[in-house]
Amino acid sequence: MALQHAASGDNIPLKRDDDDIAHFTSIALAKTEHMEIIRLVLPKERAMPEHKVDGEMTLLCLQGEIVCDAHGRSTVLRPGDMLYLLGGVPHSVRANEDAVGLLTILLNH
């Protein structure tokens, strides 16, 4: 079964009262030809190794503490903090504590 992405004008709940990070995985919330929005779940014990994406991106920390290593430095994101990266910048992401972020990627075509 194909994942149902949000449509234009849809309410996209990012936080639920029963939110337990152990029971959730990252999920694409909306995707168009030019953009993808992902609810990124980062358990403390799992890191995303260095990689890069073609498009510009932002990462907004919603819960927990996220560390992004890019440009030769580590940036710590706490709830309400946002990071911007140009497309093609190598980066890795990890969580100092269980975390949830909102990742937006502009897709190059």
Q: What is the average pLDDT value for the chain, to the nearest integer?
A: 87
pLDDT classification of 57: cutoffs 50, 70, 90: very high
Residue 1 has pLDDT above 50, yes or no: no
pTM of the model: 0.85
| Strands 73-77, 57-70: pairing kind | antiparallel
pLDDT value of residue 46: 82
Residue 78 has pLDDT above 70, yes or no: yes
- Tell me what the mean pLDDT of segment 38-43 comes to: 92
Which residues are registered as beta bridge partners of 104? 37, 58
Least trusted range by pLDDT, from 9-18, 55-64, 68-77 = 9-18
Distance (Å, whole) CA 60 – CA 10:
20
CATH 3.30.1050.10 assigned to 21-106? no
Angle at 79 between CA 49 and CA 47, to 5 degrees: 15
Q: Which two tokens stand for residue 76?
A: 């710590």
C-alpha dist (Å) from residue 26 to 14, 29, 109: 11, 9, 24
Domain chopping of the chain, boundaries: 21-106
Distance (Å, whole) CA 95 – CA 46:
8
Residue 22 has pLDDT above 70, yes or no: no
pLDDT value of residue 3: 57
Collapsing DSSP to helix, strand or coil, 22 comes out as: helix
